[in-house]
Amino acid sequence: RAIPLKYGAQYTGKRSDEAMNKWRSNRFGQFIHWGLYAIPGGVWNGKTYNYAAEFLKSSAHIPTPVWDSLMYQFNPVKFDAKAWAKMAKKMGVKYMTITTKHHEGFCLWPSEYTNFTVANSPYKKDIIKQLVEAYNAEGIDVNFYYSVLDWHHPDWRYDIKTPEDSVAMSRYLTFAYNQLKELATNYPTVKAFWFDGTWDNSVKLNGKWTYEVEKMLKEVRPGVIVNSRLRADDYGKRHKDSNGQLMGDYESGYERRLPDPVTDLAVTKWDWEACMTIPENQWGYHKDWSISHVKSPLELLEMLVHTTSMGGNFLLNFGPSGEGTFRPQELNIANTIGAWMSKYGNVIWDCDYAGMKKEDWGYYTKKKGSNQLNMVVFNVPVSGLLRVNTPKGMILEKAAFLDSKGVSLKVEEIAANQYLIHIPVKQYTSPQVIQVDYREGNAKGSYEKAK
């Protein structure tokens, strides 16, 4: 039975309007974490803090006025929005999500509601405007990350325990609402808002505010998309309301982890996005990446394919330096993934869950409405035999490497709805893509060739 809610989900089911269809077809995005934390890069008074660089203020217990004075050092002389956008384009992303304001409260745009912005740094110029223009010029959508949690604003509260807290937090929420309206108004091409820092009690007690923010953004910018992380309902229930309905337009809980391709197939029923760091847990620039495992380009590419195969978007994070540059490892990742995407991007963009059983060799993806399956092969068995189990009513007809100009691979039916695709046994240096044609029909189960 439904619990009556004033601030629950604003609709149910997947959105199917043009803006949401575009968001979904994008599949691969670049996340960028940039703020004052890029300047110290995880190091304070000669000491390296291994926890996330964007949390340095908290890890090193730096007083707010001291941290805030980093604003007077923010001068990324090497920042070149067009070069960033070109790199992103080459990598094959279709959208970019930028931290307009992270937990530290520093704004990368000249907000009229606070002085703690790039306008008062030595750099002065609007970072957000430059990024929106440069990325849009490359055909890349720009989305805005916004942290509701704010370590700078005097009215921010973690909890509401006194009437004074309530008054202060209301002032803070008005401030944040105004900033969000300002962003939606002043950057009219913004496609989505990515909310973070919404887990504290002070926000959970203000489900009404999260409801109104979603509504306001959609009024100011029709078609705009918000993540579930913004939302709490009347009872402080987050992401999904008290009736189990997803709030916002997509689920955004997969952070530095992915759903299991066998046991978490439920995610294929809704829109979702996973965000991922290159090191273990660094979003902002950290000077020392030797403190944790740094994911390889192929590891990240596999995560992208894994995400696509389950109908999600993959948002890969970059943390530019205080000067405005990407580190060599980031450039290498962008180049390697980009080289693969330039050949095989069509098995990612506009692709979805194929409805097939997970196999050991890798992942299936499927372009919407097509009669072709893509097999993205990460693990080649020593036998060279790739197993395909088809659901009832599907007959495989033909398989070929996507870049082989149609030279067929042997497709052997070994039992009803069970096939082996034969590929050459050799050392592959990048994930191979096999395109499989199929038709509807019932296998005879006689081990007889389908055709």
Told to check if 283 binds ligand H79 by CB under 6 A, we report: yes
Told to check if 251 binds ligand H79 by CB under 6 A, we report: no
Binding mask of the shown chain, residues 27 to 46, with x at each position contacting ligand H79 by CB under 6 A: ------x-------------
Told to check if 54 binds ligand H79 by CB under 6 A, we report: yes
- Which helix (H) or strand (E) segment is 231 a member of? none
Q: How far is the CB of 329 from ligand H79 (least distance, A)?
A: 19
Q: How far is the CB of 240 from ligand H79 (least distance, A)?
A: 15
Nearest one of 210, 69, 184 to 128, comparing CA atoms:
184
Comparing CB distances to ligand H79, the nearer of 178 and 281 is 281
Told to check if 104 binds ligand H79 by CB under 6 A, we report: no
Contacts of 42 (CB under 8 A, 6+ apart): 48, 49, 50, 53, 56, 282, 285, 286, 287, 288
Comparing CB distances to ligand H79, the nearer of 64 and 268 is 64
Comparing CB distances to ligand H79, the nearer of 212 and 255 is 255
Contacts of 83 (CB under 8 A, 6+ apart): none
Q: How far is the CB of 367 from ligand H79 (least distance, A)?
A: 30
SS3 label, residue 312: strand
Radius of gyration of the chain from Cα atoms?
24
**Alpha-carbon distances of 372 from 74, 266, 289, 310, 396, rounded to whole Å:** 51, 23, 41, 17, 10
Comparing CB distances to ligand H79, the nearer of 35 and 324 is 35
Total site size for ligand H79, rule CB under 6 A: 8
Q: How far is the CB of 87 from ligand H79 (least distance, A)?
A: 21
**Sequence-ordered strand ranges (E) for 155-238:** 192-196, 225-226
Comparing CB distances to ligand H79, the nearer of 288 and 412 is 288
Out of 173, 258, 275, 386, the only residue in the binding site for ligand H79 (CB under 6 A) is 275
Comparing CB distances to ligand H79, the nearer of 210 and 374 is 210
29 close to 315: Cβ distance less than 8 angstroms: yes
Q: What's 23-86 look like in SS3?
A: HHHHCEEEEECCCHHHCCCCEECCEECCCCHHHHHHHCCCCHHHHHHHHHHCCCCCCCHHHHHH
C-alpha to C-alpha distance for 158 and 126, rounded to whole angstroms: 30
Q: How far is the CB of 85 from ligand H79 (least distance, A)?
A: 21
Q: Which residues pair with 409 in a beta bridge?
A: 399
Q: How far is the CB of 96 from ligand H79 (least distance, A)?
A: 14
The DSSP 8-state label assigned to residue 266 in this structure reads G
Q: How far is the CB of 54 from ligand H79 (least distance, A)?
A: 5
Comparing CB distances to ligand H79, the nearer of 318 and 344 is 318
Out of 11, 72, 158, 199, the only residue in the binding site for ligand H79 (CB under 6 A) is 199
Told to check if 56 binds ligand H79 by CB under 6 A, we report: no
101 close to 150: Cβ distance less than 8 angstroms: yes
Comparing CB distances to ligand H79, the nearer of 31 and 378 is 31
Told to check if 235 binds ligand H79 by CB under 6 A, we report: no
Comparing CB distances to ligand H79, the nearer of 88 and 275 is 275
- How far is C-alpha 271 from the chain's CA centre? 12
Q: How far is the CB of 282 from ligand H79 (least distance, A)?
A: 9
How many alpha carbons lie under 13 Å from residue 150 in its C-beta half-sphere?
A: 25
110 close to 179: Cβ distance less than 8 angstroms: no
Q: How far is the CB of 56 from ligand H79 (least distance, A)?
A: 11
Q: How far is the CB of 180 from ligand H79 (least distance, A)?
A: 17
Long-range contacts of 121-125 (CB under 8 A, 24+ apart): 121/71, 121/72, 121/73, 121/74, 121/75, 122/72, 122/73, 122/74, 122/75, 123/74, 123/75, 123/76, 123/79
Comparing CB distances to ligand H79, the nearer of 199 and 447 is 199
Told to check if 196 binds ligand H79 by CB under 6 A, we report: yes
Phi, psi of 59, deg, nearest 5: -65, -40
Out of 38, 52, 267, 409, the only residue in the binding site for ligand H79 (CB under 6 A) is 52
C-alpha to C-alpha distance for 276 and 281, rounded to whole angstroms: 9
Nearest one of 378, 381, 377 to 400, comparing CA atoms:
377
143 close to 194: Cβ distance less than 8 angstroms: yes
Q: How far is the CB of 438 from ligand H79 (least distance, A)?
A: 39
Comparing CB distances to ligand H79, the nearer of 238 and 367 is 238
Chain residues that interact with ligand H79, rule: CB under 6 A: 33, 52, 54, 196, 199, 255, 275, 283
